[in-house]
Structure 1
Amino acid sequence: MNESLSVPPTPEKLTHKNPTIGKQQLFVKQAIVLALEMLLALPLCLLLAKFHIGGIAWIFGGIAAGTVVLQGCRVFYKYSPQPNRTARKVGMALVGLTIGASNAHANLASVVSSIPIFIFLSLFLLLSGSGIGYIYSRVSKTNILTAMLATVPGGVGVMAAIAADYNKNVSLVALVQAIRVTSIVVLIPFIARTSAGNYYPQRLSTNSAWLNLDASQLELLLLVLLITGLVVYPAILFKIPAGDFFGALLIGIGFNPLLNWLPFVGDISFSPPPLINFLGQMLLGITIGEYWGDKPNFTKGTIGYALMCVVMTLASGAIAAILAMQLTSWDWLTCLLVTAPGGSAEMILVSLALNHNVEIVTTGHLVRLIAINSSLPLWVFLFRRLDEQFSESA
């Protein structure tokens, strides 16, 4: 009888052969990294709040914490965790819920007539991003599908995920997208503060209650979070583009009217507490920072081409803002917020922090999200065809 058959497998072999154990270990590591990021982000956010930059401080603090923790893991522990996509989805849902509640009483019907303008501006930015991607691919000798995914304003996580699906350079796509989103989030509040004297930023009070401990409010909070989870999870499961953000935003808008419509419920006015907004912004910032901390050692030429690409994208956003000023009666700051080629959730949060025409900015970015995500399969198909043609000619 072969003695090797009677020898019990070692723990290492069991761990290697049992995928459940590997997933559990990965989950524990991701949870530890996320906990460290949030523990670091909290004091950074409170410190930034002292500079009176408004609620957007929580995004900045999260960006710094995500970058520092991931770089620390790589340098000191030789462990390179991937950006936590689950944390970003949770952050998008919390932010969408907050934004929806803030727009629940807004007169969105007044901006419906501007939807054709929003569509035109979205197509302009999409075509501009494609043109910039083509120039970027030719100058930097980068694969054209990679270059297009890096330059089209569709969000860091979405474009990086598509690049991974097609075995393209995920790190390069994430680098360009992260530079663009971070630049927009940093620049627009600075421009508004220095150039516009009539905006009033949303003040972040560190002394006021972040969570209403009243029993009825806590019950409503748990109910709205449960409904949000039940709506957002299928959207994520079926890979609906931006389903986490859209679903939570619709719940935020319709939660109070739905409850008041029920015959056995009295007049209810519920708004998510500031803690939900802060957590959502912090998670969004952390995931952006993780894409920064996850970068391998790029050459100076790669970073230079990426910066060139981002500058051209910012210039196209400025041109779109000028077009919006010619086509509408909005002031320049509203046009800038609507056309800024940053992440939709981040830009709407900036408008909330600046307390400036939130309903217009929300509608504009929702239209752009729908336009980009609905046409994304077509664009990816065209980019792949171009990629194949250039490969054959080469």
Structure 2
Amino acid sequence: LKDHWFSVGIMLILSILLAMLSGYVLWRFSKTDMMTSFVGTAPGGLSAMPSIAQEVGANTAIVSLVQMMRVLLVVLSIPFLVILIYSKQDSSASAAAKTLSTATTDFRLAPVLWTAILILAAWGACKAAKRLKFPAPWLLGSMLGVALVHVGGAAVTGHDMMAWWPSQANHVSQVFLGATIGSKMYKSMFSGVTRIIIVGFVSSVGLIAAMFLSAVIVSKLTGISLITSVLAFAPGGIA
């Protein structure tokens, strides 16, 4: 990132502009309102955008539907496209991922204590974000707060701090998030949804294709591996 911050930054801005164009298409050719269209097509994924939709008064069901459709399209297409083009992953990247996975699930006293510190940081940051009226304060506040403490801890100690965070915790969080979104959906939200699905599908395919092409260009310009570039910029969110 230090070497290629300009190219990556341009790419991130371009992804937002392309998503806004996708939102305009959804609003222009369907019966949904403008706020719902733009939040629904924003490249924030299914984790963040439905929560933000609820806060700004957009139709949560439509936002969740469009985001879910795009995530499914990304998950079902991008990995296969990458495999076709890039049959063998970079061995050093795989080794680094394996090391990180092992370290973050290691149950020892120091990682568990660091996890407790991060939980407290997340709670405090959520309260601060809510007071400052951040969008989706429980998600953004906790993420930013923990990131700052985590990076700060590494700067103070001179090495990366490893927290005990088993993979099951990620699964549980997604179950609660999914249940929360699902419990706020009502039949009336889905009236006239056929046109939205069709337009949303077309605009999502267009956005994915444009992002894939842009990721290939960034890979060529910067030397970042193709598989990393494509997965980093695919509009599927955290998933």
Q: CA distance change for structure 1 residues 210 and 195 in 2, over 3 Å: closer, same or farther? A: same
How many residue pairs match? The answer is: 219
Residues 232, 247 of structure 1: 8 Å contact kept = yes
Listed one character per residue, the Cα deviations across residues 171-219 of structure 1 (whole Å, up to 9, x for unaligned) are 1012111222343344443444454221166899xxx999655xxx22x
Superposed counterparts of 1:116-195, under 5 Å: 116-195=6-85
Residue in structure 2 matched with residue 243 of structure 1 by the alignment: 141
1:336 maps to which of 222, 230, 233: 230
Residue in structure 2 matched with residue 45 of structure 1 by the alignment: none
Q: CA distance change for structure 1 residues 165 and 325 in 2, over 3 Å: closer, same or farther? A: same
> Which one-letter code corresponds to 2:162 in the other structure?
S
Q: Report the CA distance between 1:339 and its aligned residue.
A: 1.5
Residue in structure 1 matched with residue 175 of structure 2 by the alignment: 286
Q: CA distance change for structure 1 residues 122 and 182 in 2, over 3 Å: closer, same or farther? A: same
Q: CA RMSD in A?
A: 3.3
Q: CA distance change for structure 1 residues 336 and 163 in 2, over 3 Å: closer, same or farther? A: same
> Which one-letter code corresponds to 2:172 in the other structure?
L
> Which one-letter code corresponds to 1:173 in the other structure?
V
Residues 36, 58 of structure 2: 8 Å contact kept = yes
Instruction: Output the CA distance in 2 between the equivalents of 1:246 and 1:121.
Output: 22
> Which one-letter code corresponds to 1:245 in the other structure?
M
Residue in structure 2 matched with residue 271 of structure 1 by the alignment: 162
Instruction: Output the CA distance in 1 between the equivalents of 2:207 and 2:171.
Output: 26
Instruction: Output the CA distance in 2 between the equivalents of 1:306 and 1:339.
Output: 19
Instruction: Output the CA distance in 1 between the equivalents of 2:20 and 2:160.
Output: 45
Give the structure-2-normalised TM-score.
0.74
Residue in structure 2 matched with residue 313 of structure 1 by the alignment: 207
Instruction: Output the CA distance in 2 between the equivalents of 1:188 and 1:132.
Output: 19
Gaps of 5+ in 1: 1-110, 262-267, 347-394
Instruction: Output the CA distance in 1 between the equivalents of 2:103 and 2:173.
Output: 22
Give the structure-1-normalised TM-score.
0.48
Q: Report the CA distance between 1:292 and its aligned residue.
A: 7.8
Residues 224, 255 of structure 1: 8 Å contact kept = no
Instruction: Output the CA distance in 1 between the equivalents of 2:79 and 2:173.
Output: 17
Greater Cα radius of gyration, structure 1 or 2: 1
Gaps of 5+ in 2: none
Listed one character per residue, the Cα deviations across residues 26-55 of structure 1 (whole Å, up to 9, x for unaligned) are xxxxxxxxxxxxxxxxxxxxxxxxxxxxxx
Q: CA distance change for structure 1 residues 322 and 296 in 2, over 3 Å: closer, same or farther? A: farther
Q: CA distance change for structure 1 residues 163 and 114 in 2, over 3 Å: closer, same or farther? A: same
Residues 125, 320 of structure 1: 8 Å contact kept = no
Residues 16, 42 of structure 2: 8 Å contact kept = yes
